[in-house]
Amino acid sequence: MKRLLTILWLASPLLAVRIPAGTELSVRLTDRVSTEAANTGAAATGAAVHAVLIAPVMLGGAIAIAPGATLTGKVKQARAASSPAADNPDAPKTAALLELSFTSLQDGAANATIVTLVAGLDNARESVDEKGVINGIAPDSTLSAEIDSGISKLEANPKLAGLATLIQGAKQALKIEDANPNIDYEPGVELTLRVTQPFVWRGNSVGPVGKLQPIPNQDALPALVNRQPYRTFAQKPPNPSDITNILFIGTDEEIKAAFMKAGWSTAARLSTQSKLETARALIEARGYNEGPMSILLLDGRPPDMAWQKGNNTFAKRHHLRIFRRPDTFNGKPVWVCSSTHDTGIDYSKRDHTFIHRVDSQIDRERAKVVDDLLFTGLVRGLAVVERPDVPTQITNATGDSLTTDGRMAVILLGQ
């Protein structure tokens, strides 16, 4: 998902602008869409679907379309996942399929007819093809399906039937359920739409970014930012890891309110129970919104908060750690944050465990956090501060390469 981070209070809205083909719209569904009800429910072909624009569309340094604009479309086609008939059990299972077409954009009195296709899914287990069709996971490829297949093979062997019973018992004891291969998106799921035909937009709103004002005492921000540590460290072993890339000015309550309103979730503590729930989420091919995070330290201290935003797979999530700093600014507490985007799970031969892989372009995650919090209307000020001593290319504790421009976004929170 390509995003542009900019100092939005300097951007004036364009009163009439031609939105070119290829423009991407970051949107959030406001309806549930599920192929499980493809024939009669929320994913029936022709059913209406709605979304809201959550990030500004920028052209030439100005806001072309403000966040908050609403989109209306329909389900162009839908197909539920299916199992083979009883009289043909060896037939392959059919994956779910969903195509959404958004055709109307409105913001107050401004409106336009648009032609779009889905170009990306945020933190989803499904894939999108070049025609914008969302393709569900293969029902036979989930870990739960493979476990069931293995149990069936063992049951067919009289010498191994007892082992099959033990595995089936363990599955029941761990409360492992079969994966649901249908496409099921709740309100809040985020998509990227691509405009396929140019259109003219005559909006004059700047949306929630219109509340932004310059941060008071802004000349003191570079000194504040550049005395903060820029590198977190893993706990065991103590290897250097993520780069800090956001600084918050606000109270504990203001930070929590902003992330909750933006749809983020807190992370469960690492424990036997949270590890077991993580394993269940992976086996069942589903999300785990409160999934635990590894502990990273800043100046030897663990984070005071950890937030994440996922969808329907634990393998992918936006996530961040926030650390309270000893500073205050204009009488308000200062917090430093490291944010990255988990894009997959891999097995680390070095650490002998499963680890998340991250998007190396970490500035995109910085922009994602800024966009999400701006959309809440709870951000009072935004600045971007240069950090000349921060390296632009590093490797984190698990071996992923991280690339950044080194800058830090500063977010002032409060009503």
Same domain, 190 and 268: no
- In a domain, residue 17? The reply is yes
Structural domain containing residue 152: 143-173
pTM, whole model, 2 decimals? 0.88
Closest CA to 396 of 341, 352, 353: 341
- In a domain, residue 311? The reply is yes
Same domain, 154 and 123: no
Whether 363 contacts 384, CB under 8 Å: no
The predicted structure's pLDDT at residue 46: 86
Same domain, 240 and 278: yes
Same domain, 356 and 287: yes
- In a domain, residue 3? The reply is no
Same domain, 235 and 318: yes
The predicted structure's pLDDT at residue 10: 46
Cα-to-chain-centroid distance, residue 315? 11
For the chain, helix (H) and strand (E) counts, in that order, are 6, 28
- In a domain, residue 203? The reply is yes
In angstroms, rounded to a whole number, what is the distance separating the alpha carbons of residues 410 and 225?
Answer: 8
- In a domain, residue 13? The reply is yes
Same domain, 119 and 151: no
Same domain, 366 and 282: yes
Same domain, 305 and 240: yes
Residue with the two structure tokens 């976004």: 409
In angstroms, rounded to a whole number, what is the distance separating the alpha carbons of residues 154 and 150?
Answer: 6
Q: What are the percentages of helix, strand and coil residues in the chain, rounded to 5?
A: 20, 35, 45
In angstroms, rounded to a whole number, what is the distance separating the alpha carbons of residues 154 and 126?
Answer: 31
The predicted structure's pLDDT at residue 278: 83
Contacts of 276 (CB under 8 A, 6+ apart): 174
The domain tally of the chain equals: 3
Calculate the alpha carbon distances from 235 to 14, 238, 322, 397 in Å.
49, 5, 16, 10
What residue type is assigned to position 211 of the chain?
K
Same domain, 127 and 161: no
**Tens digits of pLDDT across the chain (415 residues):** 333 344 444 455 667 899 999 999 999 999 999 998 655 555 677 899 999 999 999 998 888 999 999 999 999 999 999 865 555 566 678 899 999 999 999 999 999 999 999 999 999 999 999 999 999 998 887 777 677 676 677 677 776 667 667 767 666 767 778 889 999 999 999 999 999 999 999 988 888 888 888 999 999 999 999 999 999 999 888 899 999 999 999 999 999 999 999 999 999 888 888 888 888 888 888 888 888 898 999 999 999 999 999 999 989 999 999 999 999 999 999 999 999 999 987 766 555 566 778 999 999 999 999 999 999 999 999 999 999 999 999 999 888 999 999 999 999 998 6
Same domain, 201 and 167: no
Same domain, 87 and 202: yes
Same domain, 315 and 376: yes
